[in-house]
Structure 1
Amino acid sequence: MRWLRALASLAVLLGVLLGVPWLLLQLADPLGLLAVDWARALTRPDDGHVLLGLLSVIAWLAWAALSATILAELVAVLTKQRIRIPVPGTGWLRPVIGSLVAAATLAPAAMAAAEPPPVAAATSSQSPSAEHPPNHDEITTGRSYTVRAGDELWSVAEAQLGTGERWRDLLVVNSQLSASSRLAPGDVLQLPPDVEVTAGDSLWALAERHLGDARRWPEIHALNADLISDPDHLRTGWRLLLPAWQPESAAPSQPAAPAQPATPAPDASESPTDVPLESPAKALPLPSNSSAPSSRATVRPGLPIVELTDAQETPVVADPEVDPEGVLGPIGGLLASTIVVSVAARRRLQMVGRAVGRRLIPMKPDAMRFWTALAHRAETADTAPEPLAATTVVLGWRDDGTDVLHDLEAAGWTSLVGGPDTAAAVGAMLTTLACAPWSSDVEVVVVGAADPWAAALDDARVTQVGDAAEGVTHCLKLSARRRLELGMATLAEARADEDRAAAYRPVVYLFAERTTTSQEAKLREALSFGAVGVSIVTPGGEGVPIHYDGQLATLGDVSFTPQLLEAPARRALIDLFTDSGSLDTEAAPWWSTTPGHDAPRFAVERVAGHPYVVLLGEPEILDPAGETPSRARQQCVEYCAWLLLNPGSTSSKMQRSLLVAESTRRSNLSRLRRWLGTDPHGVEYLPDAYSGRLQLDERVTSDWQVLQGLVGVGVDLAPDRALRQALALVDGSPLGSAAQRWPWARTLVEDMTALIVDVACVLADRCLAQGHVDEALWALGRAEAAVPGHDEIAIRLVEAHSRAGSPEDTDAAASRFLRQVLEDNREVAPEHARGLAVARQRVAKAAPQHAI
């Protein structure tokens, strides 16, 4: 069949190069336009000759570009890519033309090879014997790694794949693993086949070097299409996935030579694939849970091997990035909700202290996906029972879904006995104690943990010590000191005394490493001092035992599914805490002095008569042309917003971002398509994704896009009129109540908030400088209604009221600002302290009898 494909490709190319111009000459002659009397043609109805002539000119230009691309690819193939002739505007077409040229140049060789040669005897290392048939359930990629003590999915990915964030790639090629798997020393893991681009590399060279056939470069391009927009330009340092199969089956069509035992034929239900010539990678079998025949298997970073058929728009296999269970592991709704609330509060503190012209550094993609998964899981949380002791943690869930609670201080010493990775159990307890509202007074000492919890949390209540010996000493000294200070008083009496309560807050020691016999004796001594507010959790030991056995755990007579924070989730959570705790910012892209700042990208007004999406307030769709859906209306608005903000994206990217089931995505997208409807000419506002890309009609706009267009030259350079128009668009908090329902939009909300504040501050500063105090107060009021509590807005309100000569309003604005800073446990920035002082002096000068 290879020679037939080569001849077909050659026929197509010859048809384009020779057949198309012949056909064009038969239909119309563009030279006839030279004889046209244009004065007459432009003033009288056309009989069709001019229109046909113009269309033929366009057709000839298109043929010329297509022919130039074919010739350029032919030169590249014949010179083995040593000569590359770029044709502007044809990057999207090059892979298709390249495939045709590559196939066509194989025609002579393919015809000569039409009669297959005798099959040479294969060595035992290349072909399994009849006595040992191949195991089609196992994936071999030609790259492997033997697990060592202490390895986890993240650390293996970090060491072998360049970044720990690629841990999901290991799940792709190791079907026996899941996100919750624990690695055992001696296990052999398959590593995804990939290659790093170095200086001077091209797709042709990579295909020749790693696949044994340079003409297979379009396969590499197809696998990495979301990374490579132009196949002629590769960026040094990129890691590209390589195909691990032949595009055509090369299974022998006749038996092997008698001297060699025949390789058993694969089962008819399987699709045999062979190893490419000189390629180290072997065939990757398709997922066993797929029932439809595949047209091609695809591997992408962070995605499983998937099958795409003509009838399927997106994969149907489980994806850790789509399935929250795969992202989070065994984390319950209550813990997820406490993390979401805690991180949101930390991120708010970053936002209110941000300087004008700066932007919060966006969260890492893995941290953002983890955040989205947490928000979805938090929706399943039941209300925490009241009241809860400060040191209560959720150990897991019974079969009926109810939480298994455990009070660490009441237990005194809790022992983790049996199977799980201790760090997973300790991580879940630590996160609860650090984030849960009922544990706000608890101090935690983390002992011997490899993960940088204290640095990531940046919380004075969390201390991290290096090893068990140091932790035991710390615990013994604290217990002895508290016992001595208590004297004859009880712990309850000391905590009831508001002057002494802070000194006797609960302290929990979480040991991530096992203690020795002598260290356990010292822990017993520490607990022998009685109730001093100290509790201990250790792997093993003599405390209240929690027995772990596989996927189950027991506490006394209660059997339950344990809550664990496994390695991938710990890494993602630490990234989330680190990102939300950092005070670092970056130059805002809406500021003219920011490197790489672009000119306006959006229209500065709404397209009348066409759908319009409100995002700078409670989200809604205005002026849809279709019928309002009877169900899932909010989800349709969400999908429309996502499509506006991610134009040209694929359905699989949409599914991963929104973390919804594929069936749900399809249903809601159909509802949205009917709701948006068509324009008067029957053009759909949301066309079907025949190209694989989802794209709203360009006439569907949003207030957020209009705002960006108004300040596209840079907020600092935008005229006052544009800034007023931008603020007039703001009708409440960005995304309103949907900001909590759309966790994928976290970065969007932060950017919206920052831009609104910056627009208001710039306009207010200009107005105050010109003496237009009322307009400055209007601008600041619009921003404060949308973004309450921001330092830059608050300090300018103080200044504006002082310039307006209103001591009462100035005093109220200053009090609100200082109260908010104190509640947030922050310090007043030096420039804001100077602003308060200036306002105080201005008011005192205008009304000496009044003091702020």
Structure 2
Amino acid sequence: MSRVLRGLGALVVLLALLVGVPALLLAVGARWPTTWSPQVLLRPDDGTVLLALVTSTAWVAWAVLALSVLAEVVTAATRARVRVRLPGLAGPQRAVAGLVLAVLALAAAPAVQLGPPPAVAEARTAPPPAPAAAEPTTTRARAPVPARPVDPSAVVHEVRTGDDLWTLAERYYGRGQDWRRIAAANPDRLTGGPDRLEVGWRLQVPGVVAVDDVPAGADSDPGTVVVRAGDSLSAIAERELGDDARWPELFEANRAVLDDPDVLEAGQQLEVPAGDAAGPAQPRAERVPERTDPPVRRSEPRSTRPAPPAGDGAVPGSAVPRAADGPARPSAPPPAEPSAAVEDRVAFAAVGGLLAAGLLTGLALRRRLQLAARPVGRRIVHPAPAVVPLEAALGRRQRPFTLRTLDRALRAVAVACRDQRLPLPALQLVLLAEDRVELRLSAPHATAPVGFAVEDGGRSWVLDQPGADHLTAVPADEPLRPWPTLVTLGRDDQDRLVLGDLEALRLLQLDGDPGAGRDVLTALAVELSFSPWADEMRLTLLGPDTRLPDALGAHAVEQSEDADALLDRLEDRAAEQRRHQPQPVLGQHRLDPDLAEPWTPEVVLVDGPLTREQTARFRALVDTEPHVTTAVVLVGDVGAPWRLTTAPAAAGPPTARLEPAGLDLRAQALTPDETAGVVALVAATGRTDTTTAPWWHVEVAEPEPPPDNVTYLGRRFGGWSAETTGEVDGVVAIRAAAALAADARVDHPTLLVLGPVELLGATGTAPPRAAKQCLEYCGWLLEHPGRTARDMASALAVAEGTRRSNMSRLRTWLGADAAGEAYLPDAYTGRIALHPAVSSDWQQVQILTAGGVNRAGDEALRAVLQLLRGAPLADAAPGQWHWAEELRTDLISCLRDVGVELTSRALDAGDLGLARWAAARALVAAPGDELLLAARIRTEHRAGNTAETERLTLQLAGQARRLGVDLDPATVTLLQEVVEGRVRARMA
């Protein structure tokens, strides 16, 4: 009845608009004069002209309305097989579409069955019938049967913004390729092809069941919910709390397990906050007849794909809902994923934030040294594509804030003890949280520095305000670090990082499961190698594995296979230290910088069997008093007082028990696959060889083949190939670069990466949240056109639900061009690609330098530097854009080469102003670069600016000392010429 009333109301409205309006205009509307003369315009105004204008405007509006109604009638009458889209009338067509459909519903059966027919309702307990045929049978409204057979295993989905058939099939069936099942089940809306969906459509999705009520026991515990594939916090909030806007409450209630509100892992168990919840939201799908087998959650796809395995982060026993009156059904073993990406297998699930932050910091420093030593026109060698995603996975684990907090707190203690002449406390363990630092001491120490609270009778110092003024006041270059052997052992039941001072523990045995013990030992080796205080200790790996020391090439990290020779050296050093009466707390020696070096600690990690005699010698080395600065960690039971007993877990990190501290931990560990990836990253950032840069022209092709992993953001434009761009494109690129530099109007979406990341020229609305992530997605799509959703989620290290949400935001933000073509089209083929008109400032650089930087014109090089707005990817947050590290180094390298080339040309031409501008501009992208600073020095020397020349000379020399590198011989010669007036004599 309600549908009939709606249809009659719509019919009345349409008749009033289409018939009543023109009748009214003909009756009372004014007409233009049939004859014109000057007297018509000169006589006093009586309102006739104004009324005629109003009448004309009304007729135009009526014509627009009539055309829109006619277009929608054609669309509805042909069941959307013929769609009339009139330019400029998209809004009016949407406005009248509902009225037209409501009127047509009076003469035809309902397009979508909103509920079960009486016959089905009476047979709820009967077994489900076979699925409905793909082709429906059309009947008239007065027929007692529905227009289309109702599939009892179907749900009715209401189309939302961003929906398409592929994503709906992925949601309900687990496979985007099954979208044709939905198309075939909705012939009244769809043609059977990859149609564009309209918001508000109700589509029947066969083969799934939706129920309104959540069965008891669906989640593992009351008040909790298990994350499923495709979930987001807003979706869970809508489902559990009745309002998707309450997602921040979910995030705050689960801060212990969630680091990013946009990143959820399938299988995570989340707490649902209690309070005045409105109750679970009603499902979008309409209620359909129940089945006799246990129901699933509302709108959840009844897919043949099993739940994710426990090893991928699932909570054991919680992946399958439990029926209200029956036991849980076990899930089948997961199928193999032959196309799984690297980080699907190597997720660093057992890696703590300090190891990840230290490793990423170390990799960045090593790349900086690579770039500093790179000749003009050359390109550093990047890691193989298979290990590039590992940096993104590490980025998700890092906690640089926690690392800085710990370092600042420890240096504050050291400064206070030095300045107040207090004895240094005997530190054993550190329990580190985001907002709390707890130092556990081996002996009571009642006097603590300002800001620390004394607890447990002086055995614990607690800092509850890591950002307090007395900590931030400690100089960043303060050298006092009395506990350089602190290393992460794992996380406790409160999710705090537990660090042990190996020097204080002296001998730590990793017993229990040998495999888990070796994984823990490997993690200790990597973190000690890249900790902020790694330069203040020595690390010796006793065993056959030489990969990490070889890749590091660091003097402080060594490998040995001769246990006896190593013991001889350590015993000689221990005897020398004991002769000098070591302090009870060995770190006390390091409070005096003049005495710190002889008391540098050495940690020995033993990965291999030892004889009984060798074990006894290690025990005597560390147990004999007075104690010395040597610590030993080994796998196996040697009767050591400190023991970390490990056991492999069914899912996630191995479990461990630290005695005698009595702490249950999730141990930090690196699996063999993860270790191989880390070693590959470290080795790649330590290489000194280079390849020919694609932005530089060489007259004779070099014999070396290009690396297989070379990819470029603008490869759709042919990279730097002069044959594919040409002079016309170069002129266009110069104009486009000038428009971007002047912040002028941009015709199509353009991503700016040469500085803070921005998006210009988008025609849609910017998202209210996750905008930075959308920009990262846009950059990845420009770099990797035609890749799949699985590739994208894997490379960006995000859950599929988060990826879809951000892709929907990006699609809305980018909008469409003047012809209505979306700048981010729906990927019905499974391959995602942006509209060809979407570009970036980096692609402008590629066109401007086509054929080589050294062959490009001065105007082109100036245009390149005008595009520069800051360091490339300047505002990328930690944990983001790690997939683009190769891109970032290429941006820096190309811009530096442009600056060097243009500066050199300007100096040759005597244009000191251009030379100064070009070098200074390029230094924004490559701060501290030796060749650019040398160009600045040469420029200021020619200009006669003695003070600036000396300042830049001291800056360059000081920077080389800080990095621990030698200046290029040509730079040394230049500095001698400008400072001393001549080159120092050299013997032949």
TM-score per shorter chain, which class?
Answer: 0.5 to 0.7
Residue 552 of structure 1 pairs with residue 563 of structure 2: no
**Aligned partners of 2:338, 2:565: CA distance in 1, in Å?**
44
Amino acid at match of 2:639: E
Amino acid at match of 1:658: L
**Aligned partners of 1:748, 1:492: CA distance in 2, in Å?**
43
Q: Which residue of 2 aligns with 1:340?
A: 360
**Aligned partners of 2:583, 2:561: CA distance in 1, in Å?**
34
Relative to structure 1, the CA distance from residue 554 to residue 837 in structure 2 (aligned partners, 3 Å threshold; closer, same or farther) is: same
Candidates 802, 817, 820, aligned match of 2:956: 817
Relative to structure 1, the CA distance from residue 600 to residue 735 in structure 2 (aligned partners, 3 Å threshold; closer, same or farther) is: farther
Q: Which residue of 1 aligns with 2:159?
A: none
Q: Which residue of 2 aligns with 1:390?
A: 484
Residue 409 of structure 1 pairs with residue 500 of structure 2: no
Measured after TM superposition, the shift of residue 410 of structure 1 is 0.5
Structure 2 counterpart SS, 1:732 = coil
Candidates 364, 374, 388, aligned match of 2:394: 374
8 Å contact from structure 1 (residues 616, 732) kept in 2: yes
Measured after TM superposition, the shift of residue 316 of structure 1 is 12
Q: Which residue of 1 aligns with 2:341?
A: 321
Q: Which residue of 2 aligns with 1:705?
A: 843
Residue 444 of structure 1 pairs with residue 455 of structure 2: no
Identity %: 32
**Aligned partners of 1:662, 1:484: CA distance in 2, in Å?**
62
8 Å contact from structure 2 (residues 584, 626) kept in 1: no
Amino acid at match of 2:697: S
Structure 1 counterpart SS, 2:855 = coil
Structure 2 counterpart SS, 1:565 = coil
**Aligned partners of 1:758, 1:698: CA distance in 2, in Å?**
29
Measured against aligned partners, the alpha-carbon deviations of 1:491-522 in whole angstroms (never above 9, x if no partner) come to 55643443332121111111111322111221
**Aligned partners of 1:293, 1:611: CA distance in 2, in Å?**
40
Structure 1 counterpart SS, 2:645 = strand
**Aligned partners of 1:529, 1:643: CA distance in 2, in Å?**
62
Summarize the alignment of residues 460-475 of structure 1 with structure 2, pairs less than 5 Å apart.
Answer: 460-475=555-570
Q: Which residue of 1 aligns with 2:854?
A: 716
Summarize the alignment of residues 798-817 of structure 1 with structure 2, pairs less than 5 Å apart.
Answer: 798-817=937-956
8 Å contact from structure 1 (residues 468, 513) kept in 2: no
Residue 692 of structure 1 pairs with residue 830 of structure 2: yes
Relative to structure 1, the CA distance from residue 525 to residue 625 in structure 2 (aligned partners, 3 Å threshold; closer, same or farther) is: same
Measured after TM superposition, the shift of residue 568 of structure 1 is 0.8
Measured after TM superposition, the shift of residue 660 of structure 1 is 1.2
TM-score of the aligned structures, taking structure 2 as reference length = 0.52
Relative to structure 1, the CA distance from residue 542 to residue 474 in structure 2 (aligned partners, 3 Å threshold; closer, same or farther) is: farther
8 Å contact from structure 1 (residues 320, 326) kept in 2: no
Measured against aligned partners, the alpha-carbon deviations of 1:73-99 in whole angstroms (never above 9, x if no partner) come to xxxxxxxxxxxxxxxxxxxxxxxxxxx
Relative to structure 1, the CA distance from residue 335 to residue 708 in structure 2 (aligned partners, 3 Å threshold; closer, same or farther) is: same
**Aligned partners of 2:937, 2:914: CA distance in 1, in Å?**
15
Summarize the alignment of residues 224-239 of structure 1 with structure 2, pairs less than 5 Å apart.
Answer: none
Q: Which runs of 5+ in 2 are unaligned?
A: 1-292, 294-299, 306-334, 411-429, 431-482, 649-653, 707-719, 737-744
Candidates 495, 500, 510, aligned match of 2:590: 495
Measured after TM superposition, the shift of residue 636 of structure 1 is 1.2
Measured after TM superposition, the shift of residue 409 of structure 1 is 0.5
Residue 430 of structure 1 pairs with residue 533 of structure 2: no
Relative to structure 1, the CA distance from residue 492 to residue 569 in structure 2 (aligned partners, 3 Å threshold; closer, same or farther) is: closer
Relative to structure 1, the CA distance from residue 537 to residue 701 in structure 2 (aligned partners, 3 Å threshold; closer, same or farther) is: same
Q: Which residue of 2 aligns with 1:667?
A: 805
8 Å contact from structure 2 (residues 581, 626) kept in 1: no
Residue 580 of structure 1 pairs with residue 685 of structure 2: yes
Q: Which residue of 2 aligns with 1:292?
A: 303
Amino acid at match of 2:375: A
**Aligned partners of 1:583, 1:650: CA distance in 2, in Å?**
35
Relative to structure 1, the CA distance from residue 822 to residue 644 in structure 2 (aligned partners, 3 Å threshold; closer, same or farther) is: same
Provide the aligned C-alpha RMSD in A: 2.8
**Aligned partners of 1:817, 1:331: CA distance in 2, in Å?**
38
Amino acid at match of 2:643: P
Amino acid at match of 1:553: A
Amino acid at match of 1:569: E
Measured after TM superposition, the shift of residue 838 of structure 1 is 2.5
Measured against aligned partners, the alpha-carbon deviations of 1:547-591 in whole angstroms (never above 9, x if no partner) come to 113332111211111111121111111111111122221111111
Residue 613 of structure 1 pairs with residue 751 of structure 2: yes
8 Å contact from structure 1 (residues 424, 566) kept in 2: yes
**Aligned partners of 1:839, 1:805: CA distance in 2, in Å?**
10
Amino acid at match of 1:460: H
Q: Which residue of 1 aligns with 2:639?
A: 542
Q: Which residue of 1 aligns with 2:874?
A: 736
8 Å contact from structure 2 (residues 764, 814) kept in 1: yes
Candidates 614, 628, 648, aligned match of 1:532: 628
Measured after TM superposition, the shift of residue 475 of structure 1 is 2.4
Q: Which residue of 2 aligns with 1:50?
A: none
8 Å contact from structure 1 (residues 486, 494) kept in 2: no
Measured after TM superposition, the shift of residue 532 of structure 1 is 2.0
Measured after TM superposition, the shift of residue 485 of structure 1 is 4.9
Amino acid at match of 2:753: L
Residue 364 of structure 1 pairs with residue 384 of structure 2: yes
Relative to structure 1, the CA distance from residue 729 to residue 561 in structure 2 (aligned partners, 3 Å threshold; closer, same or farther) is: same
8 Å contact from structure 1 (residues 510, 538) kept in 2: yes
Measured against aligned partners, the alpha-carbon deviations of 1:136-173 in whole angstroms (never above 9, x if no partner) come to xxxxxxxxxxxxxxxxxxxxxxxxxxxxxxxxxxxxxx
**Aligned partners of 2:882, 2:935: CA distance in 1, in Å?**
31
8 Å contact from structure 2 (residues 953, 975) kept in 1: yes
Summarize the alignment of residues 274-293 of structure 1 with structure 2, pairs less than 5 Å apart.
Answer: 292=303
Measured after TM superposition, the shift of residue 694 of structure 1 is 1.6
Relative to structure 1, the CA distance from residue 487 to residue 562 in structure 2 (aligned partners, 3 Å threshold; closer, same or farther) is: closer
Moved more, 742-751 or 635-644: 635-644
Measured against aligned partners, the alpha-carbon deviations of 1:751-770 in whole angstroms (never above 9, x if no partner) come to 00000000000010111111
8 Å contact from structure 2 (residues 509, 644) kept in 1: yes
Residue 763 of structure 1 pairs with residue 858 of structure 2: no
Residue 655 of structure 1 pairs with residue 806 of structure 2: no
Relative to structure 1, the CA distance from residue 703 to residue 521 in structure 2 (aligned partners, 3 Å threshold; closer, same or farther) is: same
Amino acid at match of 1:836: L
**Aligned partners of 2:896, 2:343: CA distance in 1, in Å?**
36
**Aligned partners of 1:364, 1:290: CA distance in 2, in Å?**
38
Relative to structure 1, the CA distance from residue 338 to residue 502 in structure 2 (aligned partners, 3 Å threshold; closer, same or farther) is: same
8 Å contact from structure 1 (residues 320, 327) kept in 2: no
**Aligned partners of 2:365, 2:877: CA distance in 1, in Å?**
14
Measured against aligned partners, the alpha-carbon deviations of 1:293-349 in whole angstroms (never above 9, x if no partner) come to 58xxxxxxxxxxxxxxxxxxxx99798637567432411122111111111111111
**Aligned partners of 2:876, 2:627: CA distance in 1, in Å?**
47
Aligned length: 538
8 Å contact from structure 2 (residues 352, 490) kept in 1: yes
Q: Which residue of 2 aligns with 1:483?
A: 578
Moved more, 538-547 or 406-415: 538-547
8 Å contact from structure 2 (residues 941, 978) kept in 1: yes
8 Å contact from structure 1 (residues 600, 708) kept in 2: no
Moved more, 571-580 or 422-431: 422-431
Measured after TM superposition, the shift of residue 531 of structure 1 is 2.1
Measured after TM superposition, the shift of residue 487 of structure 1 is 8.1
8 Å contact from structure 1 (residues 643, 694) kept in 2: yes
Amino acid at match of 1:661: A
Structure 1 counterpart SS, 2:908 = helix
Measured after TM superposition, the shift of residue 828 of structure 1 is 1.2
Structure 2 counterpart SS, 1:724 = helix
Measured after TM superposition, the shift of residue 472 of structure 1 is 2.7
